[in-house]
Structures are given as structure tokens and as C-alpha cells.
Structure 1
Amino acid sequence: MMQATVGPELARALLNPRSVALVGVSDDPAKTGGRPLQYLRKAGFEGAVYPVNPNRATVQGERAYVDLASLPEVPDHVFVLSPTDSVLGAASECARLGVKVMTVLASGFSESGSQGAAREQELRALARSTGLRILGPSSLGVVRPATGLRLTANAAFAEPDLRSGGVFVASHSGSMIGALVSRGMARGLGFAGLVSVGSESDLSMGEICLSTLDDPAIEGYLLFLESLRHGERLREFALAAARRGKPVVAYKLGRSAAAAEMAATHTGALAGEDDIADAFLKDLGIARVETLAALLEALPLAGRFALDGAAPRRVGVVTTTGGGAAMAVDQLGVRGVVVEPASAETLTRLRDAGISAHPGRVLDLTLAGTRYDVMKTALDVLLEAPEFDLVLAVVGSSARFQPHLAVKPIIDSLQHGKPLAAMLVPDAPQALAQLTEAGVPCFAGPEACADAIASVFARRMPGVQPVASSPAASGRSLSEAQAYTLLDRLGVPRAPAVIASLSGEVPELPFGYPVAAKVCSEHIPHKTEVGGVVLGIEGDAALADAFATLRANLAERAPGIECDEVLLQPMRSGLAEVLVGYRRDADAGPIILLAAGGIWAEVARDRSIRLAPVSVDTARDMIEEVRMLKPLSGLRGKSRGDLEALAQAISALSRLAVLPDAAVLEAEVNPLLVMPQGQGVVAVDALVVQG
């Protein structure tokens, strides 16, 4: 197997090639296959461009070559524009000649059924065996505005004045590249590069972005995700971007997708595919937005907040329009971001500076705020106030009609150490352009403004990373007794248990009645489905009767399964029941989930999810997010539960992510009883699936 092109070498061949070849390029520049040659010439690409078309001597007035072998040099990057059935042949030729990168426009691969999936597998196998890197299939190409590289078939790049800048865009959807370009240009954004990732048969979004991280022209990344394919590479990129202080903002499809079901535990069904993706992105420091506008507008704000573990939460608002500010406050509140009122000390400072200030969540300057000195003074005071992590200036009609008055004090306040952002209520493109040019995070509406702020605040500093592991396609369940051995190793408290023989005598118990009796076999993960549980047993005679009941139920409902072990436990009760689940997801990696127990586990879907492992501090945050656990904090006179012990248990179970010898695919403690404060937590059932 040849050495694959990776890192900076990959970035050069992909985005900074010295030469490109267009295989199957059309003579008609209006056709999809003719656009790349037209775009490259109009953009002034300085590298060599080789049209390849075996059916024509010239293409768009330029000499055409019959095949790649006929070229005067081996091109760095080949864009295959020809039909699906020609792609494998072109790839073989690229590999034979030593081409670094090949981009495939054609569809008709894994998305088109078994025959297409087989074709894509051949393409992937060729890449792995030869070192040729393949972008696509279904890639509309790559663009590097600074060098005139418009190696794309996307119609949006007919735009003559594509601005160069610091934003790098990678998208699974090729058409979304065009949408982001047109909308970004309207906002005055400049792009360092744009890549249509396509189907990721070889090159993944994470690897592409990772290869560009040392490019000084790139200040931040916008990702449009359809899935978390190749999650390990995306994780690697996100961690490296966080270390370099380069912000990443993502829009991911799939919020309405049905939950992913799992055969053995409730954890997968409770989490859901998109919920796992959400935790994956946030825990790796990526700001996940919900709106397309925020995808374009959030990056400057994300760049103003370092991923240092100190999560920002508090927003101060100053405005010249009470109604506009109320919309922003409302949208922030919907997303769980609370606008802080100014403190008494801050109000005093404002009044001492000659500004009329009243207690409330918003400092409304009214028309006086359109004066430079009033707005600038107010911003100076608010930016010094310790109660705010971010100051948001909401500007009304003056943003459109007097932008020099409305935006200049905001721009002049940008150098303050505290983050400052602006939201313009009217349609004010000139003011937005000025703010964007100055580097002020700015928003054209309350929805995108709140979305961007909430998504940036929701990012979490990446913590300890799991050991690398490839999840097995299936696993085997441990018996409950074997699962308890693993819990003991992790330090998760559990109820005492005794193993006895179903066919033997009632044993002498080290604990008192009442007890529970449960069949114990790795072949029966769901004991209640076979009538394998008897609860509330009082006395030796009742326990003997329970043994007989369990034997009869097994004979009737699980006749093919040999099981002679029974697990006996004392009956326990607590203030609440919770479910703590662990799962090694094929894309996102290990996750830990906390959910309300009992019927609420699946009815209310009241849960919190993080990438595993988690610290005790993070586990405390998870507890805060589960609504049904609020009363255990002593709310309204309720008895306090031992939430600290719960946090310790969550963190302990999550350590499965860093125990390579355990090889656990899934683990679930359900229920875990939360006892009164100071009395800990107790696991009374557990299921573990090993790979």
C-alpha cells in the first residue's frame, strides 16, 4: 500500500495545486461539465489547466488531450467530470500516474443502491491501496478565491467578484456551498476556501479541515453536516482547531430524525441519533447553530470567546429601540440564555456619566442613543461591568438612515477586552457591511442573533478523550452478576447480591427480607420478558415458591435456554430512580447518558448526554439538565437527594471509555436509586454488552 497524501501536502494538492486536469470537460461552458474551465479562466488561475476529452481536439477554444497519460506533466489535482461508469477507469489512471488528488463530480454510488455501493467500495479500495486521495463522489469541487482556483461545477461561482477572506467552508451538500457563497457575499464575508465534500468515499470532512489548520489565511470554519460519518477524523480536527484557537461553527441536518434504536438497552433509543451528534459537536467545542443565517453570522462571535472552560452565560443589552431589544431578549430566553439586568453599581456609574438608567433587563437609551457620545459612554460602562460576559447593542432605524451615528460607537468600542456584538432591527446593509468590515459580530435579525449567541455559549471545552476503538458489529451480554463485577471495578455503588442455584435449596442470606429474585444468565438480558423476576419476597417459604415460579416461567417462555442461577438482592427504595447509560457510538464514539428513571425514561425523554468520559463537574451539569431531578435539590421543601454521589457514579461509569481492556459496547444501570443526602446511590440492576 502506498503512502496516502495527508496534512499540508494534501491541502496543497487539494486547494493550492500547481496544475489541474479536467477529465470529460465539455465544449459548452453553459453545461455543468463545461463550467470549471470557464470559471478557472475568468478567475485568472495561474496554474496549468489541462482539458481532457477523447472526443475533441479542442475544448472551448483550447487544446484538448485524449487522456491523462498524454499530458506534459502529472497534474496535482484531477477533476473527473465524465459519467459514473467512467470514474473507476479514471481513478485507476490517476493512481498509475501518481496524481495526488482526484475529485469526482458524478453521483450513482452508495446512495443509489447495492450496485452503486459496490462501485463506491471499489473506489475506496483503490484509494487505500494506491495512495490516491479521492474527493467525492457527488462533489461539486473546490474553490480557493485568493489564487483563482475555481475548480467547481457549481453555478454559483459564475459570480465575478468572489471575495477572499478568512472563512473556510466544508459541506456535505454541494448546492449549499453556492448558497453560503451568495449569502456570505451579501454580508461582506470573504472566503479562504470552499470544499464540496460529497459522499466521503475516501477524503472526509474532518481530514480535509485538519489538513488546512496551519494555513494562516484561515481564521475559522463553517461546516454543513448531513451526518457524522468518519467521526474520529472530525473529532481529531475539532480538538486541533480548539488548540489553535480557530473557531468552528456547524449546521447539522437531522434534528427531526427518529431516535436510533438499540437491541439491548434503552440508552440508544433515549438518546437518539441527533442528540448524540449534538453532544458530540458541543463537547468538542463546535458551535452548532439552528438557522442558516446564524451559520454565516456566528463565526466572529465564536472567535471572541476562548474555549478555556469558563462557560459564558450572561448577556447585557443596550438599545435605541425597546421593541427590537424585546425581540432579542425573547429569542434568547427561548434558547435558555438569560439577559442580566445591570447591577446597582453599574446603574450608578451610568447615572454619574449623565445617562438616564432605570432598573431592568435592558438599558433603553431611546432616541438619545443615536448620539455618538451617549451610546459610546453607555458601552464603556457596560463593557466594564463584571455582571456581563457579552454586551449586545440593539440598534433601530438609525442603523439604516444614519449608519455613521449608529455603528461608529460600536466599532470604536470593539477593542475592549469583553466581547461586544450588534443586532440591527431594520434592513441596514450599509451598517452591516461596516460592522462586518470592522470585525464586529453583527446580526440582521433576532432569531439568528439569539441562535448564534446560544450556540457559542453552549460549546464546551474538550476534556479527556477516549481510547481509540473500532466498535464491533455485535456483542455478547454479560450476566447481571458479571455486570456487577465491572461496576465494582469502576466504583459504582450497588446493592449486595447472592448467587444461588434455582434447582437447589434456599440459601442462608447475609441480608434480611424482603428480597428480589432474578434469573441470572448472559443469555437473558431482559429478565422481565421471560418472567424472570419476583419482587417483595418475605421469608424462606416465599423464596422457595419464587424459585419454583422462576423455573416454571423459564420452561414456558425460554425453553431453549439453560439457566440455573438466580441472583438475590435486598429490596431497596430511594427518593428517585435514574438511568445511567454508556454506549460506544459507531460515529461519535463513547457517550454517557443520564435520564429520569421509571416510566419517565421513555415517556418524557428527560435526559442529558455527553461524550465519555466526563468529570464529576460535568456530571453535576448533567444532573442540572434533567428536569425530574430538580426536586432532589431541596426544591420547595422536598427531601434532598445525594446528588453528589450521583455525580460520582455518572463519572465512574463513563470511565468505560478509557478502559481498553473492558471492550464495552453498551452498559446501563437501570435503575440507580438516589438515596437521601449523605446516603449515596445504589444500583439495583445492570446490563453490560461487551464487544
Structure 2
Amino acid sequence: MPPEKPVPALANFEKAFRPRSVAVIGASDDATRISGRALHYLIRAGYRGAIYPVNNRRETVQGLRAYAALADVPQTPDIALIALPSRLLEGALTECLEQGVGAAVVYAAGFAETGSDGGALQDRLAAIAAAGDIRLFGPNCLGLLHTDSGFAGTFSSAFDTALPTPGGAAIVSQSGAYGGHLAYLCEKRGIGVGYWVSTGNEAGTDVADCIHWLALQDDVSVILAYAEGVRDGETFRAALQAAHDHRKPVVFMKVGQSAAGATAAQSHTASLAGTDAVFDALCRQYGVYRAQTTQEQVDVAYAADRGRFPTGRSLGIITVSGGFGVQLCDAAERGGLDVTPLAESGRAKLRELNPMGSDNNPCDTTAGWLNDMSLITKTFDVMYSDGGYDSIIGSFTMLPDSPTYGEEIRKAIGAGTSEFLDRPTALCMEARTEVVRAYERDGFLVFDDSERAVTALSALAYFAVHFDTPVVRRDRKRTTRAPLGSDPLSEHAAQQLLTEAGIPFPASTLVTHPDDVAKAAADLGFPLVMKIVSPDIAHKTEIGGVVLAVEDEAQATAAYATVLERSTAAAPSARIEGVLLGVMCPKGVETIVGVTNDPVFGPTVMFGLGGVQAELFRDVAFRVGELDRDEALKLIREIRGYPLLTGFRGASAADIHGLADVLVAASRFAVTHANGLDSLELNPVVVLGEGHGVLALDALITVRPDPREH
């Protein structure tokens, strides 16, 4: 990979995380106070840079010379830790600007989280920082640290005992308390943490900025992130792109759900596409692993930190008890790992090696190997050599902790896996911490539960696949308002726009006078569907504005009058453009294709089964931004109903590639018109037999009001 070009938006991160000098403004002599803790941590950790306490009431602070003002400090500090009340912050940050400080941390609370007055003060701090290119963290944050240099710009109680053990993990959290909790759990789990940062109210620096910079650091092996919300979709996507490009696993805990910006009453798509679902889709696009629990987040980070990723999802299982083998098989199925049978050559070797054990996958060795440890060594070798498994889980209960057998077991497993250290081997056991650490030093992943082990290995396989899968990059130039305008669009108008965009519809014509109905119907051919056309009627079926299976000219004339009458009665103020006559579509698999314009991430494509199934079962999948054919095909395969498109129970396979083309066209249309589009829905989209195409039967486009009109 070519050298990384500097990213202007990431200026002064180096000064923030690896400063050569630190000023602590408002430093207290009392190491138990918030204003004294960061200084205490810096001294205790043996920070190798210069430390300048700023306190105009004392000559020394915690044994160090104090300075009355930042201007008195003998050199310009790289970073300032500001431990002052909110009323003094503008002056302190302005002084940082005047002295050329590169980064600043504001610990104090009482800003945007408290209301408009606090929000206004926060905005002023952000403006000061921006004017001086100061990398600002906070306010209302717990700061940051870099363990290798001993830099501790934080007052978090998570570090009362010591800074984390240095390592490849990086923790980024909007919540300082959660970030501190993660650091504590990582230490307990044996995960070294090199970088830790709490972003708080994010007046200047957000989680995305931190992820982006950390993804570029050679000494980062995995990033643990926590956020309650994302404020800038483009910045966030750029950060995930950087992590993907540099093969840095990101394990994300995202909490909270909110409604999408689109109006749910106007579109099934909008009612299904909450912001949380969009975030989920973004994670899948960029290969970010979204953890559901804190334990899962730490387990996955623990596994990813080792840097060994399986090339596939095949799993070998070795146990000392058949019951544990069954348990692991069940967990593997839930985790999407394949417990494939062992090749016959391997089975023959196992039968000869251990006649009392099983000869397949999972392999139950029974307890006989305790008399001959080489059986374990040879079993691992056979499972890897002949089974070709991408990873193996060995379940050994509490035996590794045994004073009698423990050390010999570790040596035996190590000998059996020494030729296969390019792939992860996980062991399920209960043992003392020092025993577990010995196995970890030998390169093994250790878990106390089958489900946790499988989840971690499944996550590693997930990362491996995504690292090798290119991500579609958004073309930011493709945005315009025209020709959507700001007025509501009828189905006929929507179809005209979408047809030009490459989305196929059945042949149709708009009729505006009863005298023209018979000829228009005859020209199209029967059977026909007839629908009212009005920009003010989104759901035509609900008001009786649709007539199906029109078989001749007489029925067409009657249907024309019927839909007009029903529509006028149900919506007397609606603007009526006419009646749309369309050729009835052949039978196929009904699906739904939609786009919402998410307020943070922009156009987001939704795909699912058509009719009520998408809304009833929520069997839908999402992607953010413009798709290519490969990404569209992956999206189609994500829904649970995908087998219905491949020929379920003897049915003919559907035209999946034609469907992918529709998804690509819809995404391109949405990105092109992102400034004016609110939502787009094609429902149903009928997928015909393989090679016979796809037809969208109904189209709904809602537009955003033109801000220039307000």
C-alpha cells in the first residue's frame, strides 16, 4: 500500500496522542480532585515529555514548578489539559490559540447537554479551536491517553491503579465512563491498550475522526468504539473506509434508535428504515463488527488483536466429551460456522490413532489421551492437515488447570498446532489466570464458554471476508435538485423519471379524457391494470383507486369512471392528472426496493420481499449510497427470503441479476438527486424467471421542500 497522504481534517492528532510537552491549566495540588488527577497520572506513569502545571495561586503543584499563565511556560506545549470551570474556558482556550497550542482537552461539563446556553458556549469554544487549528477534545469528556509514552491526559478513575498495559488495541468512546469500563475489561482479559480516548460532546473531535486517525497507525491492531449517535455521515464513512483499507478491525457498540428523516406515513420504506437499521447496514458495507453486548465487544476485540484471521468458515472441533462437541456444533450453526465432516484419509488416521475415540468432526478423544499426551498432538495435526479447517476449537473443561496434567496438555496442544499458526485455534477451558496467560503466549485464544469462542471465530471470519472485498466509493459530485423540483410527484411522473434512470416498468399510457380510454386500452392490449394518477394520493389501493384484470374496451371505459369517482369521493381536494393504463405483469416473485434519504448518511437503499411480508416480518436489508452490481447482489442475498429467488421447492430461479440492476439504478438515481429526494419506493418489483427481467409495478417519489422557498 502506498504511503498514506495526510488528511487535513486529522491535523494535530499526533500532538494530541503523542505530545512532547503538556500544559495542565488549572492543575490542583490535590491528586484526588478532578483538576489534579491527570497531573498525578502523568507523574506516576513516568511521562517522558515536559509537564507544565498552570496555576496562578501556587509556586509548585504536586512537586512540579507551576506557572501563573500559559504565556509563562518556557515552550509551546503540544497539548493543554484544561481543568477549569466553564466560565473560564473561553479565556483559557483563547490563550491556547494565541500561544499556538496544537491540541486541547476540556473536561468541564455544562454545555450542549444542558440546553441552549450551554450549547452556545460550546459553539464558541468550537469556533476558537477551529480558528487556531486546535485539535479539541470535549467538552464534557474524560480526555485521552497513549500508554507507550506514558501520556495520561485523563482523570478517569479507570486508571487509578495504573495505565493500561501497552498493546495494539485502541478504545474510542463518546462516553468516558463506558470507555473506562472497556479499558478495565481489556486489562482483565489480557488485551493491551495503546490508545484510549473519550470524545464527550464532540465540539471539535468526534468518534469518526479518532477512528480515522487510529486506522492509519501501524501500532493499532483493533479499534473498540462506542457511540450513541453519529453527527457527520461523510466523515464517519471516510473513517470506516480508512479502517477497511488498512485492514484494521473495528468492533462497534452503537446504542439508541431513532426514526429516519423520511415521513413514515408516506412510505413503507421509511417505516422500516430507522437510523439504527441504516447504521447496521453501514457496518456490513465496511466490514465493521457491531457487538450487541459489552462482553461480545471485548471477546471479539481479544480475538482480532492477535491478527490471525481464518480464510473461511470451516470449523474443526476436538473435545474430551461428546456433550461438549454437540454444544459446540449447535453454537457453530448459530454463528454461521461450518462443522464439515473430516476427509476419509483423516478419519482412517484417527481410527488407527485412537480406536476408543471418534473418527470424525467433531472429534471426541475420550479420556484415554491422559495416558498418552501424544494422542492430542496427533489429533490436532490430523484435523488441520487432513480436514483443512480454517480454525479449530478444542474443549478441555478444567483439565488444563490440573497440577498433574496441565503443563503437559499445553505442550501437547502446542506441538500439534505448531505448523498451523497462520490460523486461529481457540480453546475452551476453566483455569487460573496464569494458566490462561501461558496458553495465550503460545498463540491460543482462550474462552470459558463455547458460545463465546464460536462468536469470536465467526467475527474473525467476517473481518477476513470484508478486508478482501472492495467497498464502493461514493461519488460526491453526483448531486443536483433538478428535475425533481419541490412539488409532489404523481406515479406517472415518477415512472417517467425512473424509466430514464434505467428502471423497467410495464408498458403504460396516461389517459385524461373518457373518449380516449377505449383506443388507448386496445393499443396496449389486455388484460390491463388501471390506476388513478394524483400527486396527492400516495396509496391508491386503499381508496379504491386501482382496478385489476381489465379484459376489454367496455371494462376499461367503466373502470376509468370508477377510479375517478372513488378517488374524488375519498380525496375531494386531490389534484387528478388522469388514469394510468398499464399492461398486467406476468407472475413472479414480488419484492420491494426503496430508498430513504437518511439525515446523517444520505441515500440508503432498502430491499426485501414485497407485499406485506417486508413490513410484517421486517425481512429487509439496507445499503448506504450508490451500489455496484456486486454490492447489490450481496444485499439481495442478505434477506431471509432469498431462497424464494433461487428456486425454492422446485420453483424456477428468478432473474437475480436483473433485480441487482434495478437496485443499482435506484441507488444511482437517489445519489444523483440527493439534494431534492426524500424517499423513493418501488413496490412491488416483480422478479420474473431467470433471464426474463424485472418489472416495477408502482413507483412513489417524495421530494424535499426547496429550502430557497422558506
If the length of structure 2 is used for normalisation, what is the TM-score?
Answer: 0.87
Shift of 1:102: 1.2
The one-character-per-residue Cα deviations of 1:438-496 (angstroms, maximum 9, x if unpaired) are 44333232332232223333443342222237999997654323332343344332211
Q: More displaced, 514-523 or 215-224?
A: 514-523
The 3-state SS of whatever aligns with 1:346 is helix
In structure 2, relative to structure 1, the CA distance for the partners of 1:301 and 1:342 (3 Å cut) is farther
In structure 2, distance between residues paired with 1:574 and 1:5: 52
In structure 1, distance between residues paired with 2:551 and 2:247: 63
1:564 paired with 2:568, answer no
The aligned residue for residue 604 of structure 2 is 591
Shift of 1:644: 4.0
The 3-state SS of whatever aligns with 2:12 is helix
In structure 1, distance between residues paired with 2:453 and 2:679: 39
Alignment of 1:15-34 (within 5 A): 15-34=17-36
1:647 paired with 2:660, answer yes
Alignment of 1:131-170 (within 5 A): 131-160=133-162, 162-170=164-172
In structure 2, distance between residues paired with 1:559 and 1:548: 15
In structure 1, distance between residues paired with 2:515 and 2:36: 82
1:467 paired with 2:468, answer no
In structure 1, distance between residues paired with 2:269 and 2:109: 36
The aligned residue for residue 116 of structure 1 is 118
Shift of 1:13: 1.0
In structure 2, distance between residues paired with 1:130 and 1:450: 49
Alignment equivalent of 2:420, drawn from 405, 416, 423 = 416
| 2:476 partner amino acid | A
The aligned residue for residue 232 of structure 1 is 234
The one-character-per-residue Cα deviations of 1:226-257 (angstroms, maximum 9, x if unpaired) are 23333323322332233333322223224xx3
In structure 2, relative to structure 1, the CA distance for the partners of 1:8 and 1:673 (3 Å cut) is closer
Alignment equivalent of 2:448, drawn from 423, 444, 447 = 444
In structure 2, relative to structure 1, the CA distance for the partners of 1:627 and 1:168 (3 Å cut) is closer
1:407 paired with 2:410, answer yes
The aligned residue for residue 262 of structure 1 is 262
In structure 1, distance between residues paired with 2:225 and 2:335: 21
Tell me if the contact between 2:429 and 2:446 (Cα under 8 Å) persists in the aligned partners.
no
Shift of 1:120: 2.8
The 3-state SS of whatever aligns with 1:223 is strand
The one-character-per-residue Cα deviations of 1:629-648 (angstroms, maximum 9, x if unpaired) are 43443333345433443334
The aligned residue for residue 480 of structure 1 is 491
Tell me if the contact between 2:530 and 2:582 (Cα under 8 Å) persists in the aligned partners.
yes
The 3-state SS of whatever aligns with 2:507 is coil
In structure 1, distance between residues paired with 2:582 and 2:675: 25
| 2:492 partner amino acid | A
Tell me if the contact between 1:242 and 1:285 (Cα under 8 Å) persists in the aligned partners.
yes
Shift of 1:387: 5.2
The aligned residue for residue 379 of structure 2 is 378
The 3-state SS of whatever aligns with 1:147 is coil
Shift of 1:258: 6.0
Shift of 1:605: 0.6
The aligned residue for residue 82 of structure 1 is 84
Q: More displaced, 43-52 or 562-571?
A: 562-571
In structure 2, distance between residues paired with 1:252 and 1:525: 34
The aligned residue for residue 707 of structure 2 is none
Shift of 1:23: 2.3
Tell me if the contact between 2:170 and 2:214 (Cα under 8 Å) persists in the aligned partners.
no
In structure 2, relative to structure 1, the CA distance for the partners of 1:267 and 1:513 (3 Å cut) is same
Tell me if the contact between 1:407 and 1:431 (Cα under 8 Å) persists in the aligned partners.
no
The one-character-per-residue Cα deviations of 1:640-684 (angstroms, maximum 9, x if unpaired) are 433443334334433446647996553221111122444332110
Tell me if the contact between 2:222 and 2:304 (Cα under 8 Å) persists in the aligned partners.
no
In structure 2, distance between residues paired with 1:476 and 1:16: 54
1:497 paired with 2:508, answer yes
In structure 2, distance between residues paired with 1:482 and 1:311: 49
The one-character-per-residue Cα deviations of 1:111-140 (angstroms, maximum 9, x if unpaired) are 223333333333333333432221122221
| 2:98 partner amino acid | R
1:670 paired with 2:670, answer no
| 2:495 partner amino acid | Y
Tell me if the contact between 2:147 and 2:163 (Cα under 8 Å) persists in the aligned partners.
no
1:610 paired with 2:623, answer yes
Shift of 1:270: 1.7
In structure 2, relative to structure 1, the CA distance for the partners of 1:162 and 1:9 (3 Å cut) is same
The 3-state SS of whatever aligns with 2:168 is strand
Q: More displaced, 468-477 or 479-488?
A: 468-477
Tell me if the contact between 1:443 and 1:449 (Cα under 8 Å) persists in the aligned partners.
yes
Q: More displaced, 279-288 or 624-633?
A: 624-633
Alignment of 1:252-651 (within 5 A): 252-254=254-256, 257=257, 260=260, 262-263=262-263, 264-299=266-301, 301-302=303-304, 312-353=312-353, 358=358, 360-369=360-369, 372-385=373-386, 388-401=389-402, 402-412=405-415, 413=417, 416=420, 418-459=422-463, 460=466, 461-468=469-476, 477-501=488-512, 505-506=516-517, 507-509=519-521, 510-528=523-541, 532-553=545-566, 555-651=568-664
The aligned residue for residue 70 of structure 1 is 72
In structure 2, distance between residues paired with 1:645 and 1:305: 39
In structure 1, distance between residues paired with 2:486 and 2:366: 65
In structure 2, relative to structure 1, the CA distance for the partners of 1:494 and 1:442 (3 Å cut) is farther
The 3-state SS of whatever aligns with 1:609 is strand
Q: More displaced, 473-482 or 207-216?
A: 473-482
In structure 2, distance between residues paired with 1:87 and 1:552: 68
In structure 2, relative to structure 1, the CA distance for the partners of 1:377 and 1:311 (3 Å cut) is closer
Q: Which runs of 5+ in 1 are unaligned?
A: none
1:179 paired with 2:174, answer no
The one-character-per-residue Cα deviations of 1:11-41 (angstroms, maximum 9, x if unpaired) are 3211111111222333321122221111111
Tell me if the contact between 2:275 and 2:598 (Cα under 8 Å) persists in the aligned partners.
no
The aligned residue for residue 683 of structure 1 is 696
1:201 paired with 2:203, answer yes
In structure 2, relative to structure 1, the CA distance for the partners of 1:656 and 1:359 (3 Å cut) is farther
Tell me if the contact between 2:175 and 2:198 (Cα under 8 Å) persists in the aligned partners.
yes
In structure 2, distance between residues paired with 1:326 and 1:155: 43
In structure 2, relative to structure 1, the CA distance for the partners of 1:20 and 1:553 (3 Å cut) is farther
CA RMSD across the alignment? 3.3
In structure 2, distance between residues paired with 1:75 and 1:112: 31
Shift of 1:149: 0.7
In structure 2, distance between residues paired with 1:475 and 1:335: 47
The 3-state SS of whatever aligns with 1:337 is coil
The one-character-per-residue Cα deviations of 1:37-63 (angstroms, maximum 9, x if unpaired) are 111111111222222334555433444
Tell me if the contact between 1:591 and 1:611 (Cα under 8 Å) persists in the aligned partners.
yes
If the length of structure 1 is used for normalisation, what is the TM-score?
Answer: 0.89
The 3-state SS of whatever aligns with 1:165 is coil
The 3-state SS of whatever aligns with 2:700 is strand
Shift of 1:623: 3.5
Tell me if the contact between 2:281 and 2:621 (Cα under 8 Å) persists in the aligned partners.
no
Shift of 1:222: 1.8
Q: More displaced, 64-73 or 670-679?
A: 64-73
Tell me if the contact between 2:262 and 2:596 (Cα under 8 Å) persists in the aligned partners.
no
In structure 2, relative to structure 1, the CA distance for the partners of 1:140 and 1:603 (3 Å cut) is same
Shift of 1:194: 0.8
In structure 2, distance between residues paired with 1:525 and 1:36: 59
The aligned residue for residue 50 of structure 2 is 48
In structure 1, distance between residues paired with 2:500 and 2:445: 49
In structure 2, relative to structure 1, the CA distance for the partners of 1:317 and 1:661 (3 Å cut) is same
Q: More displaced, 310-319 or 591-600?
A: 310-319
The one-character-per-residue Cα deviations of 1:391-411 (angstroms, maximum 9, x if unpaired) are 222222122224423333444
In structure 2, relative to structure 1, the CA distance for the partners of 1:606 and 1:216 (3 Å cut) is closer
In structure 2, distance between residues paired with 1:574 and 1:128: 60
